[in-house]
Amino acid sequence: MKQAMFERDILYPTSRANDIGSVHITVLQPENDGGIPILIEAKTEHNPLDYITEIVNLIQADVFDRIRIDIRKTGILYIKASQDRYCRIRYLDGNRYSSEFVDEL
């Protein structure tokens, strides 16, 4: 696995007001093409894929706005689905994204 540059736990809202979600994010070293891999792992029973827009908005505001990087343009998000399986998400434009399941980062 690539070297972690930054790690943080983030809370996000869910569909129930008193039930918040939590994810652990790990920002990995940039790839050769300039993409920034970001690993997202659930810390609660909520599926991060169901709340991806909220999670991305929080990651952008909490981490990447400080260094003026738009993760929708340069980020490659990996959401851990199981032990060795990830859902890779790349934004196309705005809030549109493509996703596919991969076996490694």
Cα 58 to Cα 14, 54, 76, distances in angstroms? 13, 6, 16
Going by C-alpha positions, the residue among 53, 43, 46, 45 that lies closest to residue 77 is 53
Query: 24 burial class (0-12, 13-18, 19+ CB within 10 angstroms)?
Result: middle
pLDDT tens-digit readout, 10-25: 999 998 888 999 999 9
Could you tell me the residue range of the domain that residue 24 belongs to? 4-102
Q: Give residue 80's pLDDT.
A: 95
How many domains does the structure of the chain reveal? 1
Token pair for 100: 């596919």
What tens digit of pLDDT does each residue of 29-88 get?
998 888 999 999 999 999 999 999 999 999 999 999 999 999 999 999 999 998 889 999
Phi, psi of 72 (to 5 degrees): -70, -25
Would you state the pLDDT for residue 68? 96
User: What's the pLDDT at 32?
Assistant: 85
